[in-house]
Amino acid sequence: MHIGIDLDNTILDATSAHLQYYNQVSGLSLTPGDVNDFYIYRLYGWDDEKRDAVYHQYGHDIHWNSSPLPMAVEILQQLFLKHQISIITARPLLFHDVTVEWLKLHKINYHTIAFTENKLQHCIHSHVDVLVDDGPHYAEEFALVNKPVILYEQPYNLNVTSAFVYRASNWIEVKQHVDDLESNE
């Protein structure tokens, strides 16, 4: 099976690293418990221009200092032995090198990596069977075209429901969904 897997808040905890640097810039003290929006910058009242400036200044450090989610590395190593793994991230290409180095540091193997915001089109073109992601908009897009998504549960995606959306609150559940989908092929 060909599995597409997002990075931020799917393989790794991007929220804590974003908050560290966004709090530093803003003078606020938001915590992960305050995050109820996929677009964290909106919690700070920033527009796109301010977000871009902060992200371009601190993005390398944000991405380098993010920690893998529990069991993500171990489960990904198991999946890699049996499936084709494509990392599919909406990160700008500007962060290609830090992303690849972070994956190497954490011993996360993959077959291909793509930097794209149009994940649905990429997955269709690359014949990805299932996407693992936290983005509510991606889950909704995939469900509309009857493509399965394993939605890594986050506070901002709890309202997404569809027969094609399989919820996972941890990486053990992600693997179980992959195994179930594979047995139904």
Pair 83, 46 in one domain: no
For 51-61, what is each residue's pLDDT tens digit?
Answer: 999 999 999 99
The domain spanning residue 117 has which CATH number?
A: 3.40.50.1000
CB contact set of 47 (below 8 Å; sequence gap of 6+) = none
Pair 170, 96 in one domain: yes
Ranges of beta strands (E only) in 14-159 are 67-68, 84-89, 112-115, 130-133, 149-152
For 70-92, what is each residue's pLDDT tens digit?
Answer: 999 999 999 999 999 999 999 99
Task: For residue 47, give both structure tokens.
Answer: 């527009």
- Between helix 14-26 and helix 48-64 the angle, nearest 10°, is 130
User: What confidence category does residue 4 fall into, taking pLDDT thresholds of 50, 70 and 90?
Assistant: very high
Pair 58, 126 in one domain: no
Taking the model in full, what pTM does it have? 0.96
Pair 104, 151 in one domain: yes
Paired with 131 in beta bridges are 4, 149
